[in-house]
Structure 1
């Protein structure tokens, strides 16, 4: 509020009269010494000089005797000093010294007088805002505080500011009351201005100050108070619910926290939470925790003020992923059998599914209409939700394929099938610098055979193996023999044990590396395999002969019931299938 500076009407009138009458004026500071020169030229024949105020005489100096005499005036006791040039000094200026003083020079036949007006000024203390409110509330007119400036003279004026802008009185919004107190002993003024204020939300962090405008000998001056900032209280107008989670997407098993907040000040401390599945709202602080959430926790979550006047809601989706592999675990099947495999996915969103066989990704899901040995292995069905971190499921199928041994009518087939469960061969290769040789044992069989290396010096443990794929792998050793040695590769599983040997010359003896070098044992194995092939052919011929005889016998009995004929024909067809299987086994 802009406040006009208050002037003392008497002082204003007196100032004009003084100027018109040729009076002199002296401005002094409260507490300083007042110097009052006598503005008269000393006349000839001066008898004495004297000072008076109003109508009282209180300082006398003789021109002839040079003595000084002061009247007994209590308010000036021990404060006066009159110099030889009749300049009067009054120390410790007071408000009561603000008056007209007259210098008198007296001769025998005349009296000369000259008046001087004394004005006293006192700078007030720096204004400060006292009795400050703890907080202000919107829509309420409340005492903000009082601005006070103490012990000034003449009386000063106070002005209120908000963010540097003058506050003007506004009905029921800005109300200013002014008060002036005068100290009776000193005559100094203390001015007080009280501010009642109705704030808005925009007044948050606003800076309130006040200034005092006062008069000094040099003119008008202003001092500003320290700024004051008030907490503004206002009601909540909006409620907000938030989901606090370590991840952007929430999956089963996660912990989540709901946070409800209001935009009021002070913020509300208690809320009502509406949780899916809960019949009644839950009263809680601004945070509500949900532990190990399940998929049935998906739904709309709401929070509201306790009086339910304001509410907010959000949708939370709990992501899940289920995988069912049929069959799973360890499954043993016979060669040639069919095996349907299904991997069923249930998820909150579209999931990506892929298959692995022995840790190698497959192009498509497995399908077995007729199992072969190479179909054996570990199959993994794996699925994941790309947009949900850490949501992945997998199940394993361990498939074991065994030979299906047929025993019905043909005992010879039992010995034929087990012979070809596994096969091994050996190769050797010399390094480019000729410092060592690599001996390889190529093994084929299922279940995977265990391989052992021996030499004339004993068992060899330092070996390397390639990956077991489609029933095949390679076992390798590196040697640098100083003399000729014989290496033996032994492959064994639960179906059979196969041995192969290879002669390796010393590293210093030149030799031409061949892909394969047969030992006497190898030759015996070849001869044995040749014999077995002949045995297979003979066995098949015998089987065909037996089938032909059986067929002839059944034709001969054609008069029997037709069902017997069908049964015999079925046996013939079965025999043909067995023969085909035998051929496949030989292959």
Structure 2
């Protein structure tokens, strides 16, 4: 519709309403506030009613700057609409009218848009109505950062000490910070807890908040967990973010000092490495810890004391002292250490004992110890008795020997000592083995050994059946003596070993028989490398000679076969050359029916009349083929 056509009509209607005194009714409804996150698009709705209809309605939008008059940002008339130029919203707003709803859209809102907006509805009559809406813009802050004090805090400080600081940045509206200790919120308490906060408005209009916690530190705070909680707002809700947790180092004096044996666990014995540890229930930087042995005044300035190869004198009371160097206050604790010991075993009588055969043997073994001991006796690694006393009612020559006494501490592994006792039984000698011993040999010399038991150690003499004395080497053994004699053998002979001491003598006879070497005679009849050995005499007690004889016979046979093969080859050669004609009593070689050229050789042994013919190729020929 063209404006010149409608303008007179509108003016006429206005004059008509004025003449009759009739006014239009206009009503506007708007929300109190519209909430939106920064960066999004805000939509502010203006609902209106009028009895004139939309044809003559004018819609205007305003915003109210802080401490200033309102400023129009958009104007919609019946024939024209546009955003006002040179405002904060010129290029970011648009208006959408749908029936009786006029929606103002503001793109990319920021915290600077957190303003009051006014919608004004006008009709052709002077009647108008307006509504107001507060636009609220929200911005979530960054994650809170928390820093704890790096140094420790003493419980002796009179004023509250700084615990840490918490900071959150770029939030809108302003976020709030609350401090917690072990999930309990901390509030300002005179002389106990002080929380101070500061707020910074950034150039963007966002808020950054920093909070600092100071408090009076107590010993129970040494394991406490501190953190801060940030509360901020979003459209239609309140959110919370929790910072990381921190701990603080609390310095406090101990009320108790403890010292104990770290190793070895259980009972301690001489030779062990002793480690003592000391600790207290305090935590103070300016202090000295000392461990001291009260018996020897041996001490170290440390929480650990190590003593190697401890002795029984290293036992006793050990004291640990904690000294605070600021005010020189001391507190101490102590423990008693027992070092167990086992002295060397002592046998009575010492070293050796001699008893008569048939008499009682009795000895005792003891070792001084701080703990209960157990004693055992061994002979030749075999257990012979238990207890401190070794007792044999009637001693025999077998009783003699070396006895070992072993003393142990059953309740402590590794505690052991031992000693030895040589027991000698006085009596006539006994020679090991039978009284008569047979000796057969192929050798021309023989070694004879004679071992005799008895105490005192017997003297061993060697004689032969023809009355000769033999020189021999004699050595003492644990239970007697041993002698070895070497002499040449010319014939069968008897040799006597005579062992004697102060209590008697014993004689053993050795019958020596010589075995003469014999040379075996081998009779060999062979056709296919078969060896027959009928005359070999093999001594039953000389396996080495038997093996050597067989080897010799085999070698002779191999050489004979080799020579026969050469002889056969020569004869065959002469036959081919015509050098050999027929032989008397034999068949002519040229008349043989065999397809092979065989050479026949006759061999006869001294022990058989049978002749065996061998072919050149090793085939056995029958006698009737000759």
Q: Which bracket does the TM-score occupy, shorter chain normalised?
A: 0.5 to 0.7
1:339-386 alpha-carbon deviations (Å, 9 max, x no partner): 874434322233223333443322562358996534422222222222
Residue from 39, 42, 46 that aligns with 1:38: 46
String of CA shifts for 1:179-211, please: whole Å, max 9, x gaps.
33333x443333333222334444344332322
Change over 3 Å in CA distance of 1:290–1:494 after alignment to 2: farther
The Cα shift of 1:397 comes to: 0.7
Residue 145, structure 1, aligned to residue 164, structure 2: yes
Deviations 1:56-96 (A, max 9, x none): 223223422x45251433x3342332345553322232334
Match of 1:114 among 130, 140, 152: 130
| Structure 2: segments with no counterpart, 5+ residues | 1-27, 65-69, 437-450, 459-477, 481-493, 512-626
Q: Which residue number corresponds to residue 361 of structure 1?
A: 384
Change (3 A) 1:350 1:105: closer
Does residue 158 (structure 1) correspond to residue 177 (structure 2)? The answer is: yes
Structure that is richer in strand per residue: 2
Report the alpha carbon displacement of residue 111 of structure 1 after superposing the two structures with TM: 4.5
Aligned equivalents of 1:155 and 1:53: distance in 2?
23
Partner in structure 1 of residue 539 of structure 2: none
1:287 Cα deviation after fit:
1.7
Deviates further, 316-325 or 146-155: 146-155
Q: Which moved more, 1:489-498 or 1:259-268?
A: 489-498
Give the superposition deviation at 1:422.
4.8
**TM-score normalised by the chain length of structure 1:** 0.61
Distance 1:160 1:426 in 2: 109
Q: 1:193 to 1:282 in 2, by over 3 A?
A: same
2:109–2:137 contact (8 Å) kept in structure 1: no
Match of 2:216 among 191, 195, 198: 198
Distance 1:355 1:218 in 2: 96
Q: Does 1:304 align with 2:321?
A: yes
2:308 corresponds to 1:291: yes
| Counterpart-to-counterpart distance in 2, 1:246 and 1:282 | 20
Mapped to 1, the partners of 2:84 and 2:120 lie a distance apart of 14
Distance 1:221 1:368, change over 3 A: closer
Q: For each residue in 1:513-568, what CA deviation from the matched residue of structure 2 results, as whole angstroms up to 9, or x when unmatched?
A: xxxxxxxxxxxxxxxxxxxxxxxxxxxxxxxxxxxxxxxxxxxxxxxxxxxxxxxx
The answer for the alignment partner of 2:365 in structure 1 is 343
Number of positions where the alignment pairs a residue of Structure 1 with one of Structure 2:
420
**Distance in 1 of aligned mates of 2:107 and 2:393:** 126
The answer on 1:125 being equivalent to 2:141 is yes
Matched with 1:3 is none
8 Å CA contact retained: 1:46, 1:105: no
Separation in 2, partners of 1:363, 1:130: 76
Relative distance call for 1:142 and 1:380 in structure 2 (3 A) is same
Shift of 1:51: 1.8
Q: TM-score, normalised by structure 2?
A: 0.57
| 1:56 and 2:95 correspond | no
Q: CA 1:124–1:198 in 2, change beyond 3 Å: closer, same or farther?
A: farther
Contact persistence 1:33–1:92 (CA under 8 A)? yes
Aligned equivalent of 2:276: 258
Equivalents in 1 of 2:423, 2:404: separation in Å? 11
Distance 1:329 1:151 in 2: 97
| Pair 1:422–1:268, CA change in 2 (3 A) | farther
- Corresponding residue for 2:191? 172
Does the 8 Å contact 1:269/1:286 carry over to 2?
no
Q: 1:260: Cα distance to partner?
A: 1.7
Q: Whole-Å Cα distance in 2 between the matches of residues 241 and 491 of structure 1?
A: 75
1:72 equivalent to 2:91? Answer: no
Q: 1:190 is paired with a residue of what secondary structure?
A: strand
CA distance in 2, matches of 1:224, 1:339: 90
Q: C-alpha separation between the residues in 1 aligned to 2:289 and 2:435?
A: 80
- Cα distance in 1 for residues equivalent to 2:84 and 2:497: 142
Alignment CA distance shift 1:249-1:99 (3 Å) = closer
Gap change, CA 1:202 and 1:500, over 3 Å in 2 = farther
Comparing 393-402 and 28-37, the one that deviates more = 28-37
Q: Does 1:282 align with 2:299?
A: yes
Aligned pairs (5 A) from 1:373-412: 373-403=397-427
The structure carrying a bigger helix percent of its residues is 1
C-alpha RMSD over aligned residues: 4.2
State the distance in 2 between where 1:492 and 1:242 align: 72
Q: 1:229 aligns with which of 237, 247, 251?
A: 247
- Give yes or no for contact 2:29–2:47 (8 Å, CA) kept in 1: no
Give the corresponding residue for 2:474.
none
How far did 1:395 drift? 0.7
Match of 1:181 among 188, 193, 200: 200
Q: 1:360 to 1:268 in 2, by over 3 A?
A: farther
Distance 1:268 1:398 in 2: 67
| 1:251–1:318 contact (8 Å) kept in structure 2 | yes
Higher relative contact order structure (alpha carbons within 8 Å, sequence separation ≥ 6): 1
Query: Residue 97 of structure 1 is aligned with which of 90, 100, 113?
Result: 113
Task: Assess, with a 3 A threshold, how the Cα gap between structure 1 residues 37 and 288 changes in structure 2: closer, same or farther.
Answer: same
> 1:133: Cα distance to partner?
1.6
SS in 2 for 1:172: coil
Q: CA deviation at 1:328?
A: 3.5
Partner residue, 1:87 = 103
Q: Is the 8 A contact 1:30 1:120 kept in 2?
A: no
| Contact 1:47–1:107 (Cα < 8 Å) also in 2 | yes
- For residues 498 and 306 of structure 2, what CA distance do their matches in structure 1 show? 60
The structure that has the greater radius of gyration is 2
Contact residue 110 and residue 137 of structure 2 kept, 8 A: no
Q: State the secondary structure of the residue aligned to 1:203.
A: helix
